[in-house]
Amino acid sequence: MLKLKPKEIVYLLLYAIPNTVLSFGIVYIINNILAGNERFLKNYMGIVFVSIIVYSYLLNVIFQKKLNKFSFKLLYDNEKHIFSQILKAPLQRLEKLGSQRFFTAVEDLRTFSFLPYTVTHTVNSLLMLVLCLVYMFTLSTLSALIVIALIVLVAGCYFMVMKSMSKQVAQLRGYNENYYKFVDDVMKGFKELKLSFFRRESLMNNFLIPNRNQSMDLDFKINYIFLSINLISQYGLYFVVAVILFILPEMGLLSRADVISYVVIILFISGPINNIINLQQMYTRFMVANARIKKFINDFEIVDDTYNSNSKEKQDFQSLSFKDITFSYHNENEESASFTSGPINFDIQQGETIFIVGGNGSGKSTFINLLTGLYKPTGGSMLMNGEEKADVTEITQSLISAVFTDNHLFSHNYDDYQLENNEEYAALLKTMQLNGVVENDKEESARRRFSKGQSKRMSLIFALLEKKPVLVLDEWAADQDPHFRKYFYEQLIPKLKEEGKTIIAVTHDDAYFHLADRIVKFDYGKIVRDLKTTTKEELTENLWV
């Protein structure tokens, strides 16, 4: 993710080299004026000095602008990339990795907003350091070598400590990932938490507080080490100054006149050295964030198996078949499957209404996820209109609209229909008995908070507006009042059937089972009954025997 292209390196050098030469020019002039060098005590030197400062300032402004543009592009492009990766990920991957990965990835990306500042200061500081050291060499080779050795010693200690830090910075990120799980629990389980003092206390005392305390201790330790290292670098330089002032002249390695130059240079480069050292913690954070974003992108880097077609072409639907379809759930770190579905053999013809029934955990929703292409089967084949389809999602995207148990009403209209002045929408609001609830045909009126049952009805309206031939409903009627439930089974389904819809509905409402064309019963992930409905009594007899 963090890779510089040759063009960017050229830009960086085009800025950094002249800028450092100019900054060095400033030190060089100061040094020579302090040393009383005749050539520098000219009137025009003041103008040269100010010009260098102004020129260097302008160069920095221009470069900062470019670098800011580059890093913000990097930041925002990656935000978009992460979003599109999530949209491409299979449901199973998302269920396994958890939504908190998304939040920490965005947080990791934000670290890169410090990139322009860090890069500019590092490049300037490094080049400045090199030039000042070269200048020192022109004054006295041996002394320069001693000074370099001392700087290397201080830097060496620093880097050793730094190296051990990246593991701890990564560990800190891990704590934050868990923290987001607790945030998720609070947001989604707020009501359950409100109802139980014990649960709230347990969440706080046994989970959140230990997590935050461990995180705080580690965060403190990391920052304390960074701070200590910065102090080492600062005081280490005073130590170098002490060597220049008291030892090198005594040993006859440096003339008293050159001592001034050396000290001026050391004091001048102490800024860049401290910069380089301070900025190391930013690099450690960049490295960790970069590695984690890479991991995130890898974890979500899958061949996009979503059928990407915007084709409005009406699909001709006659039949859909499962041939020996199998699927398994695996718990983390477990070889054997925790639940296996199939082999499933199933057929549905155009215009049929099928109710999927069975006990809790019998595999109905898993079947719906396979049918809608959200789960990829581990074996078997799917046929549409008698023709085998390699890409299951091709079937689902073009044919099926669905309302899931945990339906969601989007905050905006992402579909290709408009609600305003849409007669079909107005008619559906009436059919769903929502015309008194939804005030008008404006988007805002459709995207507010509804009661659970109303929200399901809105989702069904949106599913019907997609005008796809197959409608899949997972326990849709479970949230409806008895009056509307009766209306749904006895009038709405027959009406949709009359309009040519093929309906597959998961249901527990055995009072209405007889109203389907067929009942498909699941148990332990397998179809154990596939019955044509006749009379209510006959069905009851056949279904439960």
Q: Which residues bind ligand ATP (CB under 6 A)?
A: 95, 329, 338-339, 358, 360-366
Residue with Cβ nearer ligand ATP (270 or 365)? 365
Residue with Cβ nearer ligand ATP (222 or 371)? 371
In whole angstroms, how close is the CB of 383 to ligand ATP at the nearest point? 23
Residue with Cβ nearer ligand ATP (275 or 340)? 340
- Angle, CA of 35, 36 and 42, to the nearest 5°: 130
Q: Residue 339's beta-bridge partner residues? A: 329
The CA–CA distances, whole Å, from 203 to 26, 171, 182, 412 equal: 60, 21, 8, 34
How many residues can be counted in the chain? Answer: 545
Q: Residue 471's beta-bridge partner residues? A: 401, 503
Residue with Cβ nearer ligand ATP (236 or 363)? 363
Residue with Cβ nearer ligand ATP (352 or 475)? 475
Residue with Cβ nearer ligand ATP (272 or 363)? 363
The CA–CA distances, whole Å, from 5 to 1, 9, 64, 131, 132 equal: 11, 6, 18, 26, 29
In whole angstroms, how close is the CB of 502 to ligand ATP at the nearest point? 20
CA-to-CA distance for 264 and 68, rounded, in angstroms?
A: 33
Residue with tokens 């800011």: 68
| DSSP of 500-531 | T-EEEEE---GGGGGGSSEEEEEETTEEEEEE
Of 86, 70, 82, nearest to 109 (Cα)? Answer: 82
Residue with tokens 């001026």: 264
CA-to-CA distance for 245 and 447, rounded, in angstroms?
A: 75
In whole angstroms, how close is the CB of 470 to ligand ATP at the nearest point? 19
The residues near 488 (Cβ < 8 Å, ≥ 6 apart) are: 476, 477, 480
In whole angstroms, how close is the CB of 88 to ligand ATP at the nearest point? 19
Q: Are 318 and 385 in contact (CB under 8 A)?
A: yes
In whole angstroms, how close is the CB of 464 to ligand ATP at the nearest point? 23
Q: Are 249 and 142 in contact (CB under 8 A)?
A: no
CA-to-CA distance for 220 and 461, rounded, in angstroms?
A: 53
In whole angstroms, how close is the CB of 363 to ligand ATP at the nearest point? 4
In whole angstroms, how close is the CB of 329 to ligand ATP at the nearest point? 3
In whole angstroms, how close is the CB of 427 to ligand ATP at the nearest point? 32
Q: Which two tokens stand for residue 450?
A: 């509804």
Angle formed by the axes of helices 423-431 and 452-465, to 10°? Answer: 140
Q: Are 79 and 106 in contact (CB under 8 A)?
A: yes
Residue with Cβ nearer ligand ATP (84 or 338)? 338
In whole angstroms, how close is the CB of 506 to ligand ATP at the nearest point? 7
Q: Which two tokens stand for residue 441?
A: 């045909």
Residue with Cβ nearer ligand ATP (70 or 367)? 367
In whole angstroms, how close is the CB of 305 to ligand ATP at the nearest point? 18
Of 237, 222, 135, nearest to 173 (Cα)? Answer: 222
In whole angstroms, how close is the CB of 540 to ligand ATP at the nearest point? 19
Greatest extent of the chain over all pairs of C-alpha atoms, in Å: 116
Residue with Cβ nearer ligand ATP (96 or 389)? 96
In whole angstroms, how close is the CB of 533 to ligand ATP at the nearest point? 20
In whole angstroms, how close is the CB of 364 to ligand ATP at the nearest point? 4
Residue with Cβ nearer ligand ATP (179 or 375)? 375
Residue with Cβ nearer ligand ATP (358 or 469)? 358
Q: Residue 504's beta-bridge partner residues? A: 354, 472
In whole angstroms, how close is the CB of 328 to ligand ATP at the nearest point? 9
Residue with Cβ nearer ligand ATP (97 or 150)? 97
Q: Is 475 exposed, middle or buried (0-12, 13-18, 19+ CB in 10 A)?
A: buried
Burial 295-329 (b: 16+ CB within 10 A, else e): ebeeebeeeeeebeeeeeeeeebeebbbeebbbbe
User: Which phi-psi region, left, alpha or beta, contains residue 480 (left: φ > 0; alpha: ψ -120 to 50)?
Assistant: beta
User: Which phi-psi region, left, alpha or beta, contains residue 453 (left: φ > 0; alpha: ψ -120 to 50)?
Assistant: alpha
